[in-house]
Each structure stands twice: as structure tokens, then as C-alpha cells.
Amino acid sequence: MKKKSKVEKKENEKFAAFKRAVSDFFYNLSVKVHGKMPHKQAGATAIGLKKRNDMIFYCLMMLFPVAQFCTFYIAVNLNSVILAFQSYDTLTGVHSWAGFDNFKLVFYNLFNDPTMLYSAKNSLILYACGLVVGVPLALWFSYYIYKKKPLFRVFKVMLFLPSIISAIAMSVMFTYFAERAIPQLLKLIFNKSFEGLLSGSKTAFGTLVFYSIWIGFGTGILMYSGAMNSISDSVVEAAQIDGIGMIREFFSITIPLIYPTIVTFLVVGVAGIFTNQMNLFSFFGPNAENSLSTFGYYLYKNTQTASFSDYPYLSSMGIVMTIVAVPLTLLVKYLLEKFGPSTD
């Protein structure tokens, strides 16, 4: 701790010296421009100059992040909103006002296009599986690691490893495992040929759901176990003195105390209904079967392969999904906070 505090102290001193140098530069510049200050006003003027120079320093430091936010968030999203009400003529290369025509086409396709119907169904199934299977398993494994049970370090590494390995590398390894290793193992056991899990029409979707849940364990376990480690030892010790068991401790103490973290993941998961592509692009590129599509994959694939004439339609679809996702997310957040467990 002492070494750490010394390093932090040196870094703070360097930052303070840099700040003083900038302030002195602007102060000296002001003195050269306005001449020597009267003696009576020197103290008050120096304080005013220091405040002004501090503000200039702050503005200079904030200039880049603010410009980046305005360019890559506000401008990009504003352009998407404008595009949603336009159409593009491929012959003349001119944008023209289209009113709500793009939105009408989006609503028509949502209820009539088979790909959109598959996307809606698969996105909801993926979210439900993550909610019913993924979240409880992540909580339980996090609790196992938090209690430092046998082989907890092995579980911690194995479950977090997919999150730090390249998505393409993981998809290649998993494809080899699902398409070659498993069918070969089943052939040895049953003396019968089997299709690959990803190429088989009956097993592809279930395999992708399993992969999505498994690949998402790392972030969940990292956050949940971190929240569990912040629980006061005195609370746990008092419960153990009263004779509480491991399962009762999990449901009555651990879950209520980390409930805000759980709420965060559940709320983000609701928004993910419209963005999660189920790793389809990593496995199939833009050539995945329509029956496997999700909202996230549909938007990502079409954006990657779109021409200028397609952008207005995709922009309007993004706005429609945002209009649906925002109130739904806020409603779920409100219900989880209102009816969730209390720490009292």
C-alpha cells in the first residue's frame, strides 16, 4: 500500500506541475499583453487569472472527448433519423423526402417477411434461454467461486477464458468441435453417422443458443463475483453464527445484496433482444440460414452489404426498434426495482 501511495503521489505531483505550467503560460501571456499589473490589484487579478486559466485548461482537456461524442454519437444518430425519412435515387444519386414510406415498409415486413418473423421468434427465445438458464448458472458459478470451493480457480479461468480469446478463434474452435469431434464421438458410440451440430437443421439453433450462453458466462461471472466480494464479512459471519446453510445464504443474503448488479444485467438483456446476433456472423458470415436469423444479425448483415438506397430503410427499422426497446427496458427496470428483494 505504501508503494502504491508513493506512485500515486508522484503522478499527482506531475499532473499538478503540468497544470501549473499551463496556468503560468497563460498568466505570463496576459501580463505581456496588458502590461504590469498595479500593486493593489495584483492579488485579486492573479486569482481571477488563475480561475480563468484553470477553465481554459479544463476546456482544452475536454475538447477531444466532447468533439468525439458530438461527431460519432450525436451526428451519426441525427443522420440516421434524417435518413429514415428520405429515399435515395440510384440513377441520379439524389436524396428526396419520402415521409413515412420507409416506416410503412418496416411495419409491413415485420408481420409478413418470413426472415423478420424468424428474427423476432429467435431473438425472444434467445433472451428467454439466457434469462432462465444463463443468469441462474452464472449466479451459481459466481457464488461457488466467491465461497472458494474446491477447484474454484479452475472454474474461474475456464469460464472467463472465452471472453478474452478472439471471437473468430473461438468460433473456429467451436465449429471444429461441433462439426467433427461430436459427430465422430457419436459414430463410435452408436456405430451410425451423424450430421454436424451446426450444419444439421434440427440442432443448429440449439447449438448456437448454447454457445451464446456459454460465451457470455465470463462477463457475468466477473461482475457477479465482484459484487459478492464486496459483501461485508460481518454480515456473512453473523448469518453463519445463526446456523444458516450455504443455499439459504445464497438466496437470503447474497442475492438481495447484489440485486442492483442483477438488475443491470437483466435490463441490458432486454435491450439485447434487438441487438444480439447470436454470434451468427462469426460462424456463417452473411450466409446464415434465414431460419436462424435474429434482429441483431438481420441489421448487422444488411448494414454490411447495403447500398446507399438501403440505408433509409435500415435507419427507419432501427428507429422502430428503439421506440419499442426504450419503454420496454424502462418498464422492466421499474418492475425489477419495485418487486425485487429488499436488503432490510
Based on the fold, state whether residues 147 and 72 are members of the same structural domain. no
H or E stretch at 89: strand 86-89
pLDDT at 126 over 80: yes
Of the pLDDT bands very low, low, confident and very high (cuts 50, 70, 90), residue 39 is very low
Q: How many domains does the chain have?
A: 2
Instruction: Give 69-103 pLDDT, tens digit per residue.
Output: 998 889 888 988 998 999 888 777 787 888 899 99
Decide if 93 is inside a domain. no
Average pLDDT estimate for 301-312: 86
Q: Please give the pLDDT value at position 241.
A: 85
Decide if 205 is inside a domain. yes
Based on the fold, state whether residues 75 and 105 are members of the same structural domain. no
Based on the fold, state whether residues 65 and 129 are members of the same structural domain. no
Percent of the chain with pLDDT over 90: 30
Quote the domain boundaries for residue 335: 101-339
Average pLDDT estimate for 15-31: 65
d(CA 20, CA 62): 18
Based on the fold, state whether residues 58 and 115 are members of the same structural domain. no
For 174-203, the three-class secondary structure string (H helix, E strand, C coil) is: HHHHHHHHHHHHHHHHHCCCCCCCCCCCCC
Decide if 199 is inside a domain. yes
Based on the fold, state whether residues 169 and 231 are members of the same structural domain. yes
Question: CA-CA-CA-CA torsion for 140, 144, 145, 151, nearest 10 degrees?
Answer: -130
**Arithmetic mean of pLDDT over the chain:** 84
pLDDT at 239 over 90: no
Average pLDDT estimate for 195-200: 88
Range in 45-59, 68-82, 209-223, 275-289 the model is least confident about: 45-59
Q: Please give the pLDDT value at position 40.
A: 44
pTM value? Answer: 0.76
- DSSP-assigned beta bridge partners for residue 88: 95
Grid cell of 23 as nine digits: 496556468
pLDDT at 119 over 70: yes
Q: Please give the pLDDT value at position 80.
A: 87
